[in-house]
Structure 1
Amino acid sequence: MDPRSEVLLRQAELFGGSALLAGLPADDLLGHLPQAAGWSWHAGDHARLDQRFAGRSAFDVTPPAALVETAVLFLPKSRELTAYLLDALAARLPGKLLYLVGEKRAGVERAAKQMAAYGTPRKLDSARHCQLWQVRVDNVPAAPDLNALAQRYSLPLADGSLDIVTLPGVFSHGRLDIGSALLLKHLDQLPDGHLLDFGCGAGVLGAVLKRRYPHSQVTLLDVDAFAVASSRLTLAANGLQADVISGDGIAAAPAELSAILSNPPFHQGVHTHYQASEDLLRQAARHLRKDGQIRLVANRFLKYPPLIEQHIGPCHTLADADGFRIYQAASR
């Protein structure tokens, strides 16, 4: 059981009615709260919850429309995303109670101060290195317009600039990160066929690929609903068409790909988490056609070449700069 869920269950009587659990972990919590429903923006967590508690978890960037007596937000990593989620929940709870639960090291006390816009927050519990906060929504905010919260920036390229649209919570919100900038310099001579942007984020890589290889099919894949929405906005802003899908890792990718391009994630919340990246390297060959390529950027300290050599093929370093490396391999 996730420690945040354990803290909630110490006060289980507060959540015995129709409660919305936003950003909940994929554990047994819904089993202990039979009238509660979940709202997730992580495709993997949602799939696991739906498998165990069919029909009780929604996957979206906006909260479910059903009326509830209360709601709990499991603190996300991004402060901007926290603000959006709190407003989205508080707008549905006039005069009702809104709760926030999170790890101390994730900044739950700081986030609790954001709840002061609705009323007077108070700390109910502190255990398992987590805290539970409560506020009565006396000052009801307007339902937030997610698209209005998007940040936009122009990405200058040799063939003209691209407009990038990022939503709160998406990796490198409002700016181009160093690793992706390096990878964008090494997208030449990709094989014809179906290209995949794995861990697409705001769709920077996928948009560049579609414009540079207009006759290739391009798919963008991410585990996060906000990233998927951002990628769709980026493509639309540039008049580009590509497939954007959500899924939990490389297992959700199409088959017979000619190339996989990625700036793979290695953080989940405040925790270092290499599973998605390592699964990508272990399973990429199943999704690549014969002689299909994988090309990715990674922090120099990450020991990816042995995994690439073992599961895909000979690994070549195309670039080494600013603490990052570009690796390339072709499937056997």
Structure 2
Amino acid sequence: MDPRSEVLLRQAELFKGPVLLAGLPADDLLGSLPDARAWSWHAGDQAALEARFAGRSHYGVEVPPVAFDGAVLFLPKSRDLANYLLNALASRLGGRQLYLVGEKRGGIEGAAKQLHAFGKPRKLDSARHCQLWQVTVDTPPEAQPLESLAQRFELPLAEGPLQIVSLPGVFSHGRLDRGSALLLDNLEQLPVGHVLDFGCGAGVLGAAIKRRYPQSRVTLLDVDAFAVASSRLTLAANGLEGEVIAGDGIDAAPRELNVILSNPPFHTGVHTNYHASETLLKKSADHLKKGGELRLVANSFLRYQPLIEGALGNCMIRDEGQGFRIYQATRT
């Protein structure tokens, strides 16, 4: 069981009623708290929770429309996202308890200071390298519409400026990361057809592809509900059409693709996790048409070339700079 869940269960008497668990891991916690409900924004966790605890977990970017007497937020990596989630939960909890749990190395002590906006917080427990905090919401805030917290920026592309809409918690929130910038400079001569933007984030690559290759069909895929919402806002802001789907990894993607384009993730919260990226590379041939192309950017220290060669039989370094490489391979 996740150590954060173990800390909660040390105080299990506090969570016997209808409590909402926000951002919880996909472990046995719901089984130990039969009256609890879950709110997840990670498609993989949601699928696992739904399979084991059907009907008790909600996936999305807004507080689920269910009744609850208290709420626990599992601290996310992003401070901006934590602000949004705490505000959203506290707005529903006037006079009741809001809890915050997280790992010490994830910044739980600093994040607990954010609870002062709602009342006087107190630390309930410290164990398993985690802490559990509680606050009675004396001053419930007005709920902030998520879109009001979006950051917008413009990319000056050759085809015209592209508006990017980024929501809290999304990768490289409010700015263009160096890896994606390098990949944007390497979009020439892509096959026309069905293009997948894997790990789409705010939709930068997918929107740029649709702008440059308007005859192509674009699908954007991400595990994170906030990224999915961001990508839809980015497409709408530019009057572009595209399918945006939530799913955990390449298994959720369409097949018979002409192009897989990606700046693949390798972090989950505060932890390093290469599984989604390595699975993408190993299974790329299953999703590409014959003659289809994989083109991605990755940190230079990541040994992706052998994985790509193992899957597709070829791989070239198309470009590199600022610690990144562009890999290109074709399904023969």
Give the TM-score of the pair, scaled to structure 1.
Answer: 0.99
Task: Count residues in correspondence.
Answer: 332
1:99-118 correspondence to structure 2 within 5 Å: 99-118=99-118
Contact 1:123–1:131 (CA under 8 A) maintained in structure 2: yes
1:36 aligns with: 36
1:51-70 correspondence to structure 2 within 5 Å: 51-70=51-70
The alpha carbon displacement at 1:250 in A equals: 0.4
Letter in 1 for 2:14: L
The alpha carbon displacement at 1:313 in A equals: 2.4
Q: 1:188, 1:173 → 2: CA distance?
A: 26
- What secondary structure does 2:157 align onto? coil
CA root-mean-square deviation: 0.5
Map Cα deviations across residues 227-268 of structure 1 (whole Å, 9 max, x no partner): 000000000000001000000000000010000000000011
1:268 aligns with: 268
Q: 1:152, 1:36 → 2: CA distance?
A: 36
- What secondary structure does 1:208 align onto? helix
The alpha carbon displacement at 1:284 in A equals: 1.1
The alpha carbon displacement at 1:177 in A equals: 0.2
The alpha carbon displacement at 1:30 in A equals: 0.3
1:72-221 correspondence to structure 2 within 5 Å: 72-221=72-221
1:250-261 correspondence to structure 2 within 5 Å: 250-261=250-261
Map Cα deviations across residues 141-185 of structure 1 (whole Å, 9 max, x no partner): 001110000000011111211010000000000000000000001
Contact 1:67–1:92 (CA under 8 A) maintained in structure 2: no
Q: 2:33, 2:47 → 1: CA distance?
A: 19
Gaps of 5+ in 1: none
Q: 2:159, 2:275 → 1: CA distance?
A: 36
Q: 1:160, 1:293 → 2: CA distance?
A: 25
Q: 2:279, 2:91 → 1: CA distance?
A: 39
Contact 1:265–1:276 (CA under 8 A) maintained in structure 2: yes
Q: What is the percentage of aligned positions where both structures have the same residue?
A: 70
Spell out structure 1 runs of 4+ moving beyond 4 A: none
Q: 2:313, 2:247 → 1: CA distance?
A: 25
Q: 1:311, 1:160 → 2: CA distance?
A: 36
Q: 1:56, 1:227 → 2: CA distance?
A: 23
- What secondary structure does 1:161 align onto? strand
1:248 aligns with: 248
- What secondary structure does 2:200 align onto? coil
2:323 aligns with: 323
Contact 2:159–2:211 (CA under 8 A) maintained in structure 1: no
